[in-house]
């Protein structure tokens, strides 16, 4: 690995992230400050400022690392062998049946323990 690849965030990256956060805060403030204006215009302006904030953040080292992580994650998801519809239905049914069986067993176990407790404490006839 070269030193440049392992270098941490610089001061300029911090400034970029602060600027992106500032743009986002200004956008949110403006959205509520201009409440008398059309909702459509305010939403469009908020989306535009949010997009600008994301664009600024993506120019920093942490932003580029986040983008790279997203690209790598998408590549890994493409490698996954997804189950067929039939496999999914069968697995779901097995889980449902097992949950029902376990629920019934726990209910019976609870009834037996409650009967023993009532017998030991002399309650319930």
- The pLDDT tens digits for 46-87 are 999 999 999 999 999 999 999 999 999 999 999 999 999 999
pLDDT at 3 over 70: no
pTM score of the predicted model: 0.57
What phi and psi values does residue 91 have, to the nearest 5 degrees?
A: -65, -40
Work out the number of other CB atoms within 10 angstroms of the CB of residue 107: 10
From residue 76, alpha-carbon distances to 57, 68, 71, 83, 85 in Å are: 24, 12, 9, 16, 21
Q: Nearest 10 degrees: CA dihedral of 119, 123, 124, 125? A: 80
């Amino acid at each position: 690995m070269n030193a440049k690849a392992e270098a941490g965030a610089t001061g300029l990256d911090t400034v970029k992230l602060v600027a992106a956060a500032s743009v986002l805060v200004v956008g949110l403030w403006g959205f509520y400050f201009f409440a008398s204006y059309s909702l459509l215009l305010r939403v469009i302006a908020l989306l535009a400022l949010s997009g600008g904030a994301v664009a600024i953040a993506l120019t920093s080292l942490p932003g580029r690392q986040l983008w790279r992580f997203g690209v790598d994650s998408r590549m890994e998801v493409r490698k996954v062998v997804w189950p067929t519809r039939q496999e999914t239905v069968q697995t779901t049914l097995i889980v449902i049946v097992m949950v029902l069986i376990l629920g019934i067993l726990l209910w019976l176990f609870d009834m037996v323990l409650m009967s023993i407790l009532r017998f030991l404490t002399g309650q319930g006839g």
